[in-house]
Structure 1
């Protein structure tokens, strides 16, 4: 289909983009790769009066280190996230999950910031950033502000970004000795996840043979109107032995508090079952990764 009529702007700096957004008001949309927005425009599910293309804002691309944080520009593509050695070393869960997004064509055009700002609960990367305790940095007319991932995702396709704000970068804590694993179930290779689980695990001294689990972070994909953490499972894993039995018991609580949808891909009950199964698999793999010292 053909999108409805809209005006187009292509600012070259973050400040210019914010100025254009502020002048346009709530009827403007940011184009940050377009892999989610363009289909919505063609299907006429979105009717922006102005499309603000930030593809020319070079300051929003790339990866850098700053203290004990990894800074990823919002316009960094999924492909570049996967290939960047700093992401692979310090935030491997993000690289692993980004490698599963759609297909190579989408990964070369889609961006991390675009995916997060779109806030689709079936998307892989919002739940990953939630599990990694990421911080979003937004620029508005009054300057920069930071938003923890837990506060950034508000509801279905809704974030805490204001209409005149631009997501500029994502800050990720460096997880040096953590293990990680991303597990998802989808009907076809390029389809959205029916359910996905992002797990990061830190073991106590002694590793898998003696120390047990010190801490676990688990993000759930497509288990409600926004990405969520499996807090009851995380609590049950803290101090537990890194065994199949202990991890399996904790994983039975993964769907508690979730509100998964029922659609053509499965019922809510089916998704709850998948969340428990995939959480067990992801945590076991992450614990094994941490014990092996692969990070």
Structure 2
């Protein structure tokens, strides 16, 4: 039986792209998946069979390399985390949340800052440029690639195309940050629906209704996912949150106690590094807040 990649899931159908090419085959999933508590996801590599009506049936889900809960996508190996610099301004709290979840899924991440062309003049513009540079320096020092872009002016697009090539990329970020505009700039002719920020609500409307893998130049796929603004830590453990902060994971071997939570223990290498300035205060404060959120979530469950 042929093998392929699920590039779209919509209304109970799975659209499977055969590895040999051609048009995606519209498939249903086998009933056994539901009995097993399984569900095929966009990004799954699957074995499927052809049916008499020209459609197909997903027979087997092959082993996954990664899986995310929100958005639901399998086998993505690179997260493109999109944050605008104006309307809405970049939130380091939300960025760190995204990074925790992508690290937990064993994915690398590229941070893309958008809407550079929207930065106003004057003191506000100077402040925004300063915040952008501080964020770029911080996350670059941790080991993440940070790209500065303007989809409308084409700034940073070639660097982004180079980063995407050869990967199954997950594109994610808050509503209204310009994800669909980026996709439209990267894949001419796709023309995804875009929406401006609502002045009344101060946030964008969701313009993407489902997860879909879009083929990109240079090989590979990009997943445009529904906008979302909240993530929780229900699926993570207390030990795993610390390991999802790259700089903490590198330092933890120097802690006195095995299983150190980096919050109160004596001779904690992470706390010492924070006090010495080699760990950013914003990163450490976000980590402590995430630990608190995890504990509160655990109590509710």
TM-score normalized by the length of structure 2:
0.22
Name the larger-Rg structure: 2
By percentage of residues, which structure has more helix? 1
Higher RCO, Cα 8 Å, sep 6+: 1
State the TM-score, normalized to the length of structure 1.
0.23
